[in-house]
């Protein structure tokens, strides 16, 4: 997301943005909720990687969070979770 104007102004929920967002972060406009790793990632539906899936994606480590895409385990890009303080709905 190269521009913060690409962030929907009318979305009331939590959004994942790249780490580069921090350069443009405006605390009056956005609240940082967490990051899509650890417990926050689990709340979003990511699961800890199971060793039995290693043959499908050898780059993942035990316990690393992942999601399934077309039956293949994929590690999501690191994301910061934000939400608008006052969504324009």
Q: 48-87, pLDDT tens digit by residue?
A: 777 777 788 887 777 777 778 888 888 777 788 888 887 5
Max CA pair span of the chain: 46
Predicted confidence (pLDDT) per residue in 14-29, tens digit: 888 888 888 888 898 8
- Other C-beta atoms within 10 Å of 60: how many? 18
Task: Please answer whether residues 78 and 21 qualify as being in contact, where contact means their C-beta atoms are separated by less than 8 angstroms.
Answer: no
Contacts of the segment 41-48: beta carbons below 8 A, 24+ positions apart = 41/65, 41/76, 44/16, 44/81, 46/76
């Amino acid at each position: 997301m190269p521009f913060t104007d690409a962030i929907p102004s009318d979305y009331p929920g939590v959004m994942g943005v790249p780490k580069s967002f921090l350069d443009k972060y405006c605390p009056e406009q956005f609240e940082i909720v967490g990051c899509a790793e650890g417990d926050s990632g689990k709340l979003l539906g990511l699961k800890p990687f199971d060793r039995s899936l290693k043959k499908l994606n050898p780059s993942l480590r035990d316990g690393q969070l992942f999601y399934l895409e077309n039956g293949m385990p994929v590690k999501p890009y690191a994301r910061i979770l934000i939400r608008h303080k006052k969504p324009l709905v």
